[in-house]
Amino acid sequence: MIKAKSLYHLILYSIFFIIILTSSFTFIIIENTFDEFQEKIKIIKEDYSQKQKELIQADIKYTLKFIEYYHNKFKDIKSEEEIKKDLLSSIGQIRDDKSVDDYIFIYKFDGTLLYYPVEAESIGKNLYEFTDPSGKQVIKELINISQKKDGGFVKYIWYKPALKNDALKISYALSYKPWNWTIGKGIYLDEIDELVKKKKDEYDEKIANYVLQILSLTIMLVLYSIFIYKNATILIVNDVKEIGKYFKETQKSDTRINQNRLIFGEFKVIANYAYDAMHSIKDKTLMLEGLNKHLEEKVEEQTKELKELIDSQKKFLKNSVHEINTPLSIIRTNIDLLKMHTPSNKYISNIDSGTKIIQYIYDDLSYLIKKDRVEYPKEYINFTEFLNDRLSFFYTVAVSNELHFIANIEEDIYIKFNKLELQRIVDNNISNAIKYSHARSPIYINLTYFDDEYVEFFVQTNSDKITNPDKIFGDFYRENTSRGGFGLGLRIVKEICDKNLVIISLNSNEKDTKFTYRFKINENTAS
């Protein structure tokens, strides 16, 4: 849809539309008139040709009847040659044969010319093989077609003395078989061109009149549009100026506009709406100013309280983690001593399993507190030994949960990585595998070279399908809230992997779930 930015543009669009519209009408009228003209020309040509063909056909049939009558009347009185001679002489006397448009011709079937008043010097010549400029054997075709029952027409090119040039001609020929004569008459078709030219002149004059009328109408419409634009613009601009003055006045006084200052009723309505809107805006502005002032004070107060609360939580968490470390170390040491004295005690094994879970959670919290303040330099790690150590650490936890590890770990696999960050990846995956595996099922741990550049580590469990794989690495997300945990482990894993360009792949179905990690062997990304 065309959008007018001003009255000027609107008038321009209107004039442009008028021109397009009138041009379209002109084109349609010219096209229709042209089609009508072509149809008329076609009808004129067909009618003229048909009418002329009927005339020459009737003329030849009349001549043939005359010959037949004369022959029958004198055949017992005169010789054939005398009758033929008398007939040819009679035909010349009863017709205006000197006209190039009204004469007949007579040939023998062998092509000998017997009668041709326009060129008497050609009589007696054999023209059977004569051809016109297009290569058509005219005399031969006329003789052949004349021998049919009703004769026939032949179209060809023939010299026209009046034009001193060749012209298209059509002739009708019919035979008088007792004497082997072909009798014919032709007409030139160039007269049709004169009729067509006359009709074309009429057509051109009609089109010129149409175009002149439409052009006059277009000019009148354009002038009228300009007139409307000039007068309407002045009145509208005056009203707009009055409304502008009124808006300035309302900044000092709160009164409605005097209706007599405006001309158009629409602008009077606009002015009243504007007054109501401005009055409402002023009231709401005052109210909002009061609310904003109170809100700013409230937000500032709440922000201060929230900051103090967050700082207190951070301090509490930091102190808690620090305080947990000492008793946890004491508990771990004493459990190791108890296991030396009583290696097969299941209660001690359960306590050991619980302390390892606490140790794993403690390590996650410690990493979360320190990760933004501590650098984690990389070193070459024997991933094979490291993974075996972590499986040993979680062995009692797995056994206490009626699970067991099935490990496929290649020897002497090294990667360049930070040991603490690698531990967070491995521990979180093993811990989650223990937490979510079905009872008495295996946990598959695999560590192999993927190709010359990558090492692949995966953990596969018999567990429920993960319903929201897109959320599994988010903050505080847990697939099963009854299994415990904070929902932070996989979020920590995702951050470490993204930072170190580790490729993560998750496949989960109704039977098992598999977390796969591909480490670059010599990844030099800064920690």
Which string of b and e fits 423-448 if b means at least 16 CB within 10 Å?
bbbbbbbbbbbbbbbeeeeebbbbbe
Percent of the chain whose pLDDT exceeds 90: 25
Residue 210 within a domain:
no
In terms of residue numbers, what domain contains 127? 7-196
pLDDT digits (tens, 9 = 90+) for 371-401: 667 788 999 999 999 999 999 988 988 988 8
Write down the pLDDT at residue 473. 83
**Segment 265-270 mean pLDDT:** 70
Q: Please, are residues 419 and 381 in contact by the beta-carbon 8 Å criterion?
A: yes
- What CATH number did the domain enclosing 20 receive? 3.30.450.20
From 100-114, 146-160, 452-466, the region with the lowest mean pLDDT: 100-114
Write down the pLDDT at residue 334. 65
pLDDT surpassing 70 at residue 441: yes
Residue 323 within a domain:
no
pLDDT surpassing 50 at residue 305: yes
Residue 256 within a domain:
no
Write down the pLDDT at residue 109. 92
Residue 220 within a domain:
no
Provide the token pair at 166: 């060749």
Residue 333 burial by CB count (10 A; 0-12/13-18/19+): exposed, middle or buried?
exposed
**Segment 452-459 mean pLDDT:** 94
> Bigger pLDDT: 492 or 361?
492
State residue 6 phi and psi, 5-degree precision.
-160, 170
pLDDT digits (tens, 9 = 90+) for 313-342: 655 555 555 456 556 566 767 666 666 767
**Segment 165-176 mean pLDDT:** 89
H or E element, residue 404: strand 404-409
Write down the pLDDT at residue 526. 44
CA distance linking residue 205 with residue 199, whole number of Å: 10
When divided into structural domains, the chain yields a total of 2
* Alpha carbon of residue 76 to chain centroid: 94
CA distance linking residue 494 with residue 442, whole number of Å: 25
**Segment 98-114 mean pLDDT:** 81
pLDDT digits (tens, 9 = 90+) for 69-96: 888 988 888 888 888 888 888 887 776 5
pLDDT digits (tens, 9 = 90+) for 52-61: 888 888 988 9
Residue 38 within a domain:
yes
Confidence of residue 226 (pLDDT cuts 50, 70, 90): confident
CB atoms closer than 10 angstroms to residue 69: 10
Residue 417 within a domain:
yes
Write down the pLDDT at residue 216. 82
C-alpha distance from residue 480 to each of 52, 84, 394, 460, 464 (Å): 104, 128, 21, 18, 10
CB atoms closer than 10 angstroms to residue 297: 10
**Segment 403-416 mean pLDDT:** 94
Name the pairing type of β-strands 442-449 and 404-409: parallel
Write down the pLDDT at residue 283. 72
Domain boundary among 196, 213, 231: 196
Domain boundary among 196, 227, 252: 196
Confidence of residue 468 (pLDDT cuts 50, 70, 90): confident
Which string of b and e fits 216-235 if b means at least 16 CB within 10 Å?
eebeebbeebeeebeeeeee
Write down the pLDDT at residue 527. 39
From 19-23, 126-130, 174-178, the region with the lowest mean pLDDT: 19-23
Residue 272 within a domain:
no
Domain boundary among 148, 164, 196: 196
CA distance linking residue 382 with residue 39, whole number of Å: 98
Residue 319 within a domain:
no
- What CATH number did the domain enclosing 489 receive? 3.30.565.10
**Segment 134-152 mean pLDDT:** 91
Write down the pLDDT at residue 516. 96
From 14-18, 423-427, 488-492, the region with the lowest mean pLDDT: 14-18
Mean pLDDT of the chain: 79
Percent of the chain whose pLDDT exceeds 70: 74
From 230-234, 314-318, 381-385, 465-469, the region with the lowest mean pLDDT: 314-318
DSSP 8-state class, residue 5: S
**Segment 266-295 mean pLDDT:** 73
Write down the pLDDT at residue 426. 94
> Bigger pLDDT: 130 or 328?
130
